[in-house]
Amino acid sequence: MTYSVLYISSAAPDLNHNDVQDIMEAAAANNDPLQISGFLVFDDGNFLQLLEGEEEQVNMIYDRIKKDLRHRNIIPVLEQHTGIKGFDFYHSGFRICDNPKLVEELKNYVSLIRNIEAPQLRKTINLVDAILHAM
């Protein structure tokens, strides 16, 4: 059953552009082969990430992420079984959103799938929507 993790965090104070690039590259390279979908947004010093996939794979990546010193104040927003993935047909895999245009695209996608008939997934979608609009 699909498991998903949604969290927010703050970039480490000394994080530079290259660090962000490295993080984005690791996510792009590692998640697709593990069939982990979702997205990683970096905006104004904050990260928002959704990981969805098999529980074991998601937790393996999430455990690594939690130990990463390039961010702090990691706040889990939602950790739940959703039954289905909401983001696997979005950009055919894991999505990196490191500029305003891509964040805007993600917001549009979220509003498209808002009324999906899957209560657990809808919870994720509503939270993502609210956080993206507050970021």
Ligand X SMILES: Cc1cc2nc3c(=O)[nH]c(=O)nc-3n(C[C@H](O)[C@H](O)[C@H](O)COP(=O)(O)O)c2cc1C
Q: What does the binding site for ligand X look like in residue numbers (CB under 6 A)?
A: 9, 23, 26-27, 30-31, 40, 47, 49, 61, 64-65, 68, 70-71
68 vs 112 by CB, closer to ligand X: 68
Cross-strand bridge partners of residue 41: 48, 97
The structure tokens 């996608």 sit at 109
In the complex, least distance from residue 119 CB atom to ligand X, rounded to whole angstroms:
26
In the complex, least distance from residue 75 CB atom to ligand X, rounded to whole angstroms:
12
10 vs 122 by CB, closer to ligand X: 10
Q: What angle do CA 39, 130, 12 make, to 5 degrees?
A: 55
Residue 23 CA to residue 13 CA, distance in Å, equals: 15
